Structures are given as C-alpha cells and as structure tokens.
Structure 1
Amino acid sequence: MADQPVWRAGLEKLVADDPALRVGAAVGDLTDLPADAVYDLVVLDVAKPDAAALELVIGAAPFGHLLVSADWTGRPGLMAAIRAGARGCVSRLAEQDAVREAMRVTAQGGFYLCPRLADRFPAELPGSPAEDQGGLAPREVETLRWIASGFTHAQIATRMGLSQATVNTYAKRIRAKLNANNKAELTRRAIELGHLTPVGPS
C-alpha cells in the first residue's frame, strides 16, 4: 500500500519481475482493501514513521506479514514500527535486490531488516545504550573519528567497508547533528566529545 502512484507502480514492476512473487492488490489506502482480506505479504510505504504512520502500521498488520518502507530518520523509529506489527523494515533508499529479498523473507514469516538500517537498530533495542554523546550512532562516531583524523571520504569508505555514498550520508548527518559546517568544526567537536585526542606539542 502506498499513496504515491509512482512508488506503487515501481513496486508492482519489482514484484512482476520475480517469479516467486505476485501482486494480490495495489491500493493507496487501507480502506480500499476488503475487510476480511488476508495476504502472505503487505508492503506499506510511509514518508516518515510518525504517529499517523504507526496507526497505518497497526491497521495494516492484520492483513498479512507486514513490510514497512520509510525514511526512518526521525522518531518514533524501527522498534516502534516493529511493536506496531511490522515484520520487516526497509529504507526508501534501499536497492532493488534488498527490497526483493525483504519481500521474500517477510512473506515467509521471517524478519527482515534492510542493511541500510543495521546501524540504527541496535541503538533502539530495549536495554541498549543510548546513542553516543552528541546524538551520534556508533558508525557515525567511527566516521567522525576518521574525518577528524584527516582521511578523505573515499579512504574512510575503504576502511569501513562501505560505499562512498554511505560515508557521504554519514558525514552529512554528523554535520547536522553537531551543527558543524566544515572539517575544522567537526574536528573541534570530535575532540570536545572525546572521540579524538588532540595532538599537543611533543
């Protein structure tokens, strides 16, 4: 289910290209589904997992194993969606192969978490430490350390086993969270937060 026709059409095409999957219904609103309908898989796309979106998750869950596609940059997040009934979560930026795998796993009753969301999930688990000081997730802290140590985004991507695009995304988030506009400010904030030891005179 998606209220954006273009996104819905893209998902239908993705399903059509996979012989293991078949579209049972494609709707823009839950009220367009028969009240007694049950599917192996329900895919729900929401812009952000806010309170209204969580109501949609709760409403969609009874129709079948639920896979939720969202932005996931705010709160409530992954755990809230899972508690509301999601059996799988993917990023709106996920690759087609990841979305296809998510649909297969979720349809079979398994749990699927998009690789793009792997860094966010541990911080939301009950009893897990809160996000690092400064509001940074663990991989963002690691990225900040590399940046403050003078490495380029390409070098950081190689060291962290990530794509340069992912490192660019991390860097953008870090700058926003720390209100830093350039590398010098990022380095200063890294030192202030204890993520980098300043180099003094020898």
Structure 2
Amino acid sequence: MNTNKDNPPAIRVVLADDHDLVRSGIKALLGMIKGVEVIAEARDGGELVTLVDSLRPAVVMTDISMPGMDGIAAISQIHARHPEVRLLVLSMYDTVDFVKRAVASGACGYLMKDAPPFELEQALRSVMATGSYFSPAIAQRLLQPSEPTVDDELTHRQVEILRLIAQGKASKEIAYDLGLSPKTVDVHRARIMERLQINDIAGLTRYAVRKGLVKP
C-alpha cells in the first residue's frame, strides 16, 4: 500500500521565458525530473504574475529580460503577494548586478541557462529543501566587488523610463504607457543622463543593455 510519504505531492512549477523554443526545451527537461510538474507557461512578466495569482505554484522559474513587465518586476510583485512561492531565476546573464537585483526583489535562486541539465534538478530540489540555490559560478561572482546596481543609481520611475527609451520609444509613447506628460518624461530623461553622466540615447541604450533592462 502506497503512503503519502512514498508518493509526495509533485512540485508544481510555472515557467516564464519569452522565447518559445527555449521555454519548450526547459519544460522538456523539467518533465524528465521525477515529482516535478510544469502546470503553466508565461511569455512575459505580466502573464506570469497573473498565472501565479490563480495557480499558486510551489516554484516559479523565470527569465529576467522579457517584453513588457520584465522578470525582476514580476519577481517583486509575486514575492510581495505570495512570499511562500520559491522564485528561481534562469538567465543568460551572470553579472553580479543582475543577481543582486533579482535577490533584492525576492528571488531565492539563480541558475544559468547554459548550466548542465542535472543542475536544473539540483536547483529545484535545493530551493524546496533549503530555500535557496545559486550555481557555483554565480556564488563565486557574488564574492567579487561589484559596480553599483541600476537601482542604486536610479529611482524606480527612472528605471521604467530608461527601459522604454532603450526600446526606442519616443517621449509621447513613454508618457502614454506610464500615464505621464511628455514634459515629465523629458525631465526624467535629463535627470537620468545627469545621474549616469551619459549624454546621448545610444549611450543610455548601451547602459540599459549592460544592466539587463533590455536585450541586446
């Protein structure tokens, strides 16, 4: 006779990545792990937050750079609403800046997309058992000195505006998206340039890419 101990409940996972092929590959790998079930998939942060609100998974595995609401913003919202959900980042970015921003927002683990498949299971088991997992390469980087994060240098609103600037949007479009006036957006842009000591849009875009606000 089977007992609950013999057959523990499956680890319910929601997976988020804006690349369908990447997401399908990760889902296939997760499907090979005993006791793990991918219950839903999201293509962006907004969709991810909605799915977590309705499904209450045990674990969220999410990319950082996604269109619309990015992974960092989604992690922050999910952590605030559902602190019991384990939030594991699966990213191609390994800079200290990315990792610290993710952790500050509520992530409990960070795994590289080029990690060997066995590490995916190791990360899942670890966040469920101990509450955290950082791949060896990431743990090593966290011990190194780092430059200020984008959140150290800019306000939350400025980060939002910088991301949209780097996506090629004009002041009027940004104003519409954020419910601001174009003049207010222009003032923020000037302050962003002043704080970062960057004098053109191309420079702002390069900074946003380096900090992971937009994809290259």
Band the TM-score falls in, shorter-chain normalisation = 0.5 to 0.7
Partners of 2:26 and 2:56 in 1: CA distance: 19
Partners of 1:108 and 1:39 in 2: CA distance: 16
The alignment status of 1:16 with 2:31, answered yes or no, reads yes
Measured after TM superposition, the shift of residue 109 of structure 1 is 5.0
Measured after TM superposition, the shift of residue 77 of structure 1 is 2.4
Alignment root-mean-square deviation, CA: 2.6
Partners of 1:47 and 1:34 in 2: CA distance: 18
For structure 2, the 5+ residue unaligned runs are 1-15, 147-216
TM-score when normalising by structure 1: 0.53
Give 1:68's aligned residue: 89
Partners of 1:82 and 1:54 in 2: CA distance: 9
The alignment status of 1:38 with 2:56, answered yes or no, reads yes
Measured after TM superposition, the shift of residue 32 of structure 1 is 5.0
Partners of 2:52 and 2:71 in 1: CA distance: 20
TM-score when normalising by structure 2: 0.50
Give 2:133's aligned residue: 112
Superimposed CA distance per residue, residues 32-91 of structure 1 (whole angstroms, 9 cap, x where no aligned partner): 51634311111001249xx94421221343452110012334463212211111011011
Give 1:7's aligned residue: 22
Q: State how 1:51-200 maps to structure 2 within 5 Å.
A: 52-61=70-79, 62=81, 64-74=85-95, 76-108=97-129, 110-123=131-144, 130=145
The residue type equivalent to 2:143 in the other structure is: P
Q: Given the superposition, is the C-alpha separation of residues 18 and 79 from structure 1 closer, same or farther in structure 2, using an over 3 Å criterion?
A: same
